[in-house]
Amino acid sequence: MERTISPTKAEMARAVAILRRGGLVAFPTETVYGLAANALDANAVRRIFEVKGRPSTSPLIVHVDSVEMAQNRVVSSWPEAAEILARAFWPGPLSLVLPKGPQIPNEVTAGLATVGVRSPAHPVAQELIQAVNLPLAAPSANPFTHVSPTEAQHVRDAFGDRVECILDGGSTSVGIESTVVSLVGPRPVVLRPGMISVGELEKHVGSVDLGGSPSVSGAHSSPGQHEKHYSPATRLLITARPPAGRGAYIWWSAEVRGIERSVRIPSDPPGYARELYSILHALDKEALDFIAVEPVPDTAEWAAIRDRLQRAAERQ
């Protein structure tokens, strides 16, 4: 069930003050919670990498409140495909990779000449960016390689008081990270699949390439493709025949008998994506021997979910 939660005026004012003096604020987006710093302040951005334990070779996504903020303060060019996709999907779970503007420090982009930018749809995220009036660099607010947070409590559990301010906006509605599309080559390339599918992008910009596999895009240009990503600490298996032992089985179509923890997840992709990470966070606390996940269909609407499950399972 969705909670409608939003920070008080005083909490919002405190978050703005912290960001203006170079501190970090965790905030809700419609995908997952982000860990934000002023994207124009190299020292503030360095702190994100420290707190997350993230290698400085992984570029961050910059969050904006509008196309205008993206154009004027983040990127150095705005091709027609950016205009079309931003008008179609912003605010929303789509990140565009474009040539970076000179104001954006190299810390944000891990030295790349390009920058990822998106306008998040969550009202608290929009309110924060408008109030601070700065583009905000923010990765997902989890320790590097762990499961992304979909509730404020996940951020508290992971970082405690290492993050001064956590704005609570309830449970996120999309539940997995944004689709990342590069617009710097001759054709758009999806670097990370998300709930905005290739098919939906193609309705607007013609044919789109898939560059998401590590062999194609390389870990450097696409850190979300690191193998150890999105992983719970508990061993995760994708199988319709979970082994014996103290384990959980996450199923959407067919329950199995004799499993210690049987967890039903919605059978539609948006519902599945919305609940997946919060189920993984909860099961991870139970000290189980394994988390088995029923395989999901091999169709386009499940592509982003398949990608996250495979990466979570690859760790072992």
Q: Is the dihedral of CA 119, 121, 122, 126 positive or negative?
A: positive
Q: Which residue's C-beta sits nearest to ligand TXA?
A: 224
Nearer to Mg ion, 46 or 226 (CB): 226
> Which residues of this chain interact with ligand TXA, rule CB under 6 A?
29, 31-32, 34, 59-61, 93, 95, 97, 109, 112, 114-116, 120, 138-140, 177-178, 180, 191-192, 221-224
Neighbours of 289 (CB within 10 A): 13
Neighbours of 221 (CB within 10 A): 18
Binding residue (CB under 5 A) for Mg ion from 29, 71, 95, 140: 140
Nearer to ligand TXA, 288 or 312 (CB): 312
Number of H-type helices and E-type strands within the chain = 11, 14
Nearer to Mg ion, 140 or 178 (CB): 140
Residue whose tokens read 């996250």: 308
Nearer to ligand TXA, 19 or 180 (CB): 180
Q: Strand 25-27 to strand 34-38: parallel, antiparallel, or no bridges (unpaired)?
A: antiparallel
Please name every residue paired with 115 in a beta bridge, in sequence order, or none if there are none.
Answer: 98
Nearer to Mg ion, 140 or 173 (CB): 140
- The Cα–Cα gap between 236 and 279 comes to 13
> Which among 119-127, 136-144, 256-264, 282-290 is the span making contact with Mg ion, rule CB under 5 A?
136-144
Report residue 141 CA to chain centroid gap: 9
> Which among 63-71, 138-146, 193-201, 306-314 is the span making contact with Mg ion, rule CB under 5 A?
138-146
Nearer to ligand TXA, 284 or 308 (CB): 308
> Which among 78-86, 113-121, 135-143, 284-292 is the span making contact with Mg ion, rule CB under 5 A?
135-143
When CB distances are held under 5 to 8 angstroms depending on the partner's kind, the choice from ligand TXA, Mg ion, none that residue 311 binds is none
Contact status, residue 74 vs residue 39, Cβ threshold 8 Å: yes
Contact status, residue 103 vs residue 169, Cβ threshold 8 Å: no
Contact status, residue 115 vs residue 62, Cβ threshold 8 Å: yes
Contact status, residue 190 vs residue 201, Cβ threshold 8 Å: yes
Contact status, residue 120 vs residue 62, Cβ threshold 8 Å: no
**Count of residues engaged in binding Mg ion, rule: CB under 5 A:** 1
> Which among 139-147, 163-171, 206-214, 295-303 is the span making contact with Mg ion, rule CB under 5 A?
139-147
Nearer to ligand TXA, 23 or 175 (CB): 175
Shortest distance, position 58 Cβ to Mg ion, whole Å: 9
Q: Is the dihedral of CA 49, 54, 60, 65 positive or negative?
A: negative
Shortest distance, position 142 Cβ to Mg ion, whole Å: 6
When CB distances are held under 5 to 8 angstroms depending on the partner's kind, the choice from Mg ion, ligand TXA, none that residue 221 binds is ligand TXA
- Residues contributing to the site for Mg ion (CB under 5 A): 140
